[in-house]
Structure 1
Amino acid sequence: MGIKNRLVLMNFLQFFVWGSWLITIGGYWFQTKGWSGTEFGAIFSTMGIASLFMPAIAGIIADRWVNAEKLLGIFHMCGAVILTLLPQTNSPSSMFWLMLVNMFFYMPTISLSITVAYSALKKSNMDVVKEYPPIRVFGTVGFIIAMWTISLLKLETSAMQFYVAAIASVCLGFYSFTLPKCEINKGPREKSIINSLGLNAFTLFKNSKMALFFIFSMLLGASLQLTNAYGDTFLHDFAKIDIYKNLISVKYPAIIMSISQISETLFILAIPFFLKRFGIKKVMLISMVAWVFRFGLFAFGNPGDGLWMIILSCIVYGMAFDFFNISGSLFVETQSESSMRASAQGLFMMMTNGFGAILGSWTSGIIIDTFFSGNGELFNWEGIWISFAVYSLIVAIFFAILFKHKHNPAQLGIISH
């Protein structure tokens, strides 16, 4: 099997694990357990809490002591064990702590899988910007297939979704040990504590442009968390309305939401063109505007005559996610030295899925319970989505004004250090 195909399988399994529960856990939480929005926000914040330090720590370990592909396998095996314990929980607090441990193991694997892919491609003298997106697209395919599997098996409100994720995680854990070896930094140990621990990736914050980039990555990370947390629940809630409850889009909401991931597969392939033609600032700005439309269309859509708005919102999501997440990781790769490659990706993950996730999860749960709660009935979804759209618009305006970057297409090729 060629190197590209091996990385394709890695990405497929990586996101199959996440797709098995990420979008549908809301249905399990609200429909089966009947727990509150604030508690749900806390559950989703576990991704943020874990991402504050685990990707960075994993990056340090991968750069200095343990090969990234081996660490990837170890973390997935440990995560599988925790996933099998989640169905045994009977309270929001116990669910929170188990999910937090699960996220300690899963969140670092996202940046580790990126590190493994970039390392393998560069060893093969391939153009990362050109070759990685078509490989990464199969991660999205894995996410889609996972969502369809859970939905068609009617597991959207069942704890069985966690067992499906666990099986995939075990498979990836074993497979990771067969992946191409990622070299660790065997250079002389520096006397500086920062360098000896691999924390030199944080020196990227000394560059004002990179500092702003990471801050806005955090703000966009909040937007991503909002749509992951409430999209599936939004459609499930229409089952409480007689004229909508028997519609296919309400019975199988995960399938409708999977249009978002299908859209991703198309926009991922467009990244090399957009990134080299327009540069990171314009690409990130396009992503921010797309988030405004993503939430705005949800605000006025419904599963009946407004279904086209929901579908269009899902299509727009592909641009909103890819032009931020994938392009952002490629930009970080071009701005960091090979000796801190994994650490830099861990730092990017910390800002987006760490601080960003906490910002989106905790604040949205409190805001929804305070201002948009339906008191046992429908949430005020129009108000919820409009508030998210306004937030995204404000972020876009400030980014356009504050972030300064001169586009250099030549910098986006294979970078050697």
Structure 2
Amino acid sequence: MKLKVKIQLSLMMFLEFFIWGGWFVTLGTFLGNNLNASGAEIGMAFSTQSWGAIIAPFIIGLIADRYFNAERILGVLHLAGAFLMYQMYGAEDFATFYPYILGYMILYMPTLALVNSISFKQMKDPAKEFSLVRVFGTIGWILAGLLISFVFFWDSPESREVGMLKNTFLMVAIASVVLGLFSFTLPKTPPGVAKGEKVKIADILGLDALRLLKDKNFLIFFISSIFICIPLAFYYQNANPFLSEIGVNNPTGKMTIGQASEVFFMLLLPYFFKKFGFKKTILAGMVAWTLRYMLFAYGNAGEFAFMLIIGIGLHGICYDFFFVSGQIYTDSKAGEKYKSAAQGLITLATYGIGMLIGFWVAGKITDTYLVAENLHDWKTIWTYPAIFALGVLALFMVFFKNEKIEYKD
């Protein structure tokens, strides 16, 4: 891959995840502080990610793969997204805000697949080259959080009091325009499906992989993947509002520790996978989920602040050891014929169905333990995802039979 192309792809990834990290992390805090949204309404807003994930395969499979170059669709989606993001910046109540965020996530979620497609098309050896490009996405997400906390101070108590968090949407709208225009300069990535070739809905949604559920082990993994998204939704939806409410300084900046830990544990994963096997790797991830939420339940902004930092830092092992390991397991079980279908099915089950349930549950529980205006019983709230994760761990430990899975790094 030429240096110019590598720089282009790296910048594309940087902007793609700068855009996501620049508003999604602080969304719950913004909605609660600026729009006086309830927990259920915040859950609705976050669940737009799930609706986007459910609809995204249709945009990619029925439009992008058949009629237009991927880089052009990427550009159009981000330019349209910039407009919607600006509308979110100006919204003054949740009823006005919700249609814009729903429309935005339906446009944004397909871009995650598009940036991968554009990258893979330019690589001779994606297994070796992709990680070096994708890591710039993580850097973009981290930089967005650092800018919000340590440069603009939009998440400080004083700034939150005067509604400055809405500026995250303006920042992201500008970045979306930049990526939208930049996309048209990216290497050409023509449609992947030949003209006249039929595309089945079952192929798009990965439904052909449903036959894998006949395998008891895969069925247990599939069910566990859906249920573990309930604790994951609690983190996405509540972590930033929680840290802000209890008085942690620069909460958004501190949450970037989670993304840094993703990089570290991603590097550690091959060793752990080879030495301990798939089942123990998954179980380690689920133990981390339980531990993380108990740390959140009993930590505070004072002498036990270190517990919160450790909890954030566990995000890497929580995510990588379960979800990345799960992708490897799915790939090994699917065989050549159903590899793409199986990954599509797992994505639909987790980011679609699982997260949809998770955000709804998190919103309901958060509302239940609202003890005063903008004041929650966080100890009880965080105990719920800890119990959920422990339950999934018990399910997986008892019913999943150990099997050897080859890991190719």
Scaled by the length of structure 1, what TM-score is found? Answer: 0.84
* Separation (CA, whole Å) in 2 of partners of 1:290 and 1:351: 22
Q: Does 1:99 align with 2:89?
A: no
The aligned counterpart of 1:160 is: 167
Letter in 1 for 2:398: I
Q: Helix, strand or coil: the match of 2:170?
A: helix
Determine if contact 1:87/1:162 at 8 Å carries over to the other structure: yes
After superposition, the C-alpha distances for 1:249-269 in whole angstroms (9 at most, x for unaligned) are: x23111222211121221222
* Separation (CA, whole Å) in 2 of partners of 1:19 and 1:200: 27
Residue 81 of structure 1 deviates from its aligned partner by 1.5
Aligned ranges 1:286-301 → 2 under 5 Å: 286-301=284-299
The aligned counterpart of 2:390 is: 393
Aligned ranges 1:240-259 → 2 under 5 Å: 250-259=248-257
The aligned counterpart of 2:243 is: 235
Determine if contact 2:230/2:361 at 8 Å carries over to the other structure: no
* Separation (CA, whole Å) in 1 of partners of 2:41 and 2:259: 27
Determine if contact 2:285/2:322 at 8 Å carries over to the other structure: yes
Determine if contact 2:281/2:322 at 8 Å carries over to the other structure: yes
The aligned counterpart of 1:27 is: 29
Determine if contact 1:221/1:351 at 8 Å carries over to the other structure: no
Residue 204 of structure 1 deviates from its aligned partner by 0.9
Letter in 2 for 1:401: V
The aligned counterpart of 2:125 is: 125
Determine if contact 2:71/2:188 at 8 Å carries over to the other structure: yes
* Separation (CA, whole Å) in 2 of partners of 1:396 and 1:40: 28
The aligned counterpart of 2:11 is: 9
Q: Does 1:136 align with 2:134?
A: yes
Aligned ranges 1:361-372 → 2 under 5 Å: 361-370=359-368, 372=369
Letter in 2 for 1:194: K
Q: Does 1:84 align with 2:80?
A: no
Letter in 1 for 2:55: F
The aligned counterpart of 1:170 is: 177
Determine if contact 2:330/2:343 at 8 Å carries over to the other structure: yes
The aligned counterpart of 1:242 is: none
**Larger deviation, residues 54-63 vs 296-305:** 54-63
Determine if contact 2:67/2:191 at 8 Å carries over to the other structure: no
After superposition, the C-alpha distances for 1:48-107 in whole angstroms (9 at most, x for unaligned) are: 222223235424544444444443333222212210110222221221111111110112
Unpaired runs of 5+ residues, structure 2, are none
Letter in 1 for 2:266: I
Q: 1:376 to 1:366 in 2, by over 3 A?
A: same
Unpaired runs of 5+ residues, structure 1, are 240-249
Residue 3 of structure 1 deviates from its aligned partner by 5.0
* Separation (CA, whole Å) in 1 of partners of 2:374 and 2:23: 24
Scaled by the length of structure 2, what TM-score is found? Answer: 0.85
* Separation (CA, whole Å) in 2 of partners of 1:341 and 1:166: 36
Letter in 1 for 2:81: G
- Identical aligned pairs, as a percentage? 33
* Separation (CA, whole Å) in 2 of partners of 1:275 and 1:183: 36
**Larger deviation, residues 289-298 vs 333-342:** 333-342
The aligned counterpart of 1:225 is: 233
* Separation (CA, whole Å) in 2 of partners of 1:224 and 1:41: 13
Letter in 1 for 2:9: L
Q: 1:393 to 1:347 in 2, by over 3 A?
A: same
The aligned counterpart of 2:210 is: 205
Determine if contact 1:116/1:182 at 8 Å carries over to the other structure: no
Determine if contact 2:205/2:345 at 8 Å carries over to the other structure: no
Q: Helix, strand or coil: the match of 1:159?
A: helix
Q: Does 1:302 align with 2:300?
A: yes
355, 370, 375: which one aligns with 1:373: 370
The aligned counterpart of 1:43 is: 45
Determine if contact 2:295/2:311 at 8 Å carries over to the other structure: yes
Q: 1:125 to 1:238 in 2, by over 3 A?
A: closer
Determine if contact 1:222/1:352 at 8 Å carries over to the other structure: no
* Separation (CA, whole Å) in 2 of partners of 1:330 and 1:186: 29
After superposition, the C-alpha distances for 1:127-156 in whole angstroms (9 at most, x for unaligned) are: x2x544443332221111001112230223
Letter in 1 for 2:200: I
Residue 233 of structure 1 deviates from its aligned partner by 0.8
After superposition, the C-alpha distances for 1:214-265 in whole angstroms (9 at most, x for unaligned) are: 43332233322211111111111124xxxxxxxxxx2311122221112122
Letter in 2 for 1:23: V
Q: 1:260 to 1:50 in 2, by over 3 A?
A: same
Q: What root-mean-square deviation, in Å, do the aligned CA atoms of Structure 1 and Structure 2 show?
A: 2.9
The aligned counterpart of 1:243 is: none
Q: 1:50 to 1:368 in 2, by over 3 A?
A: same
346, 358, 372: which one aligns with 2:356: 358
After superposition, the C-alpha distances for 1:355-410 in whole angstroms (9 at most, x for unaligned) are: 1221111111112212x111215211111111111101111221233345733426
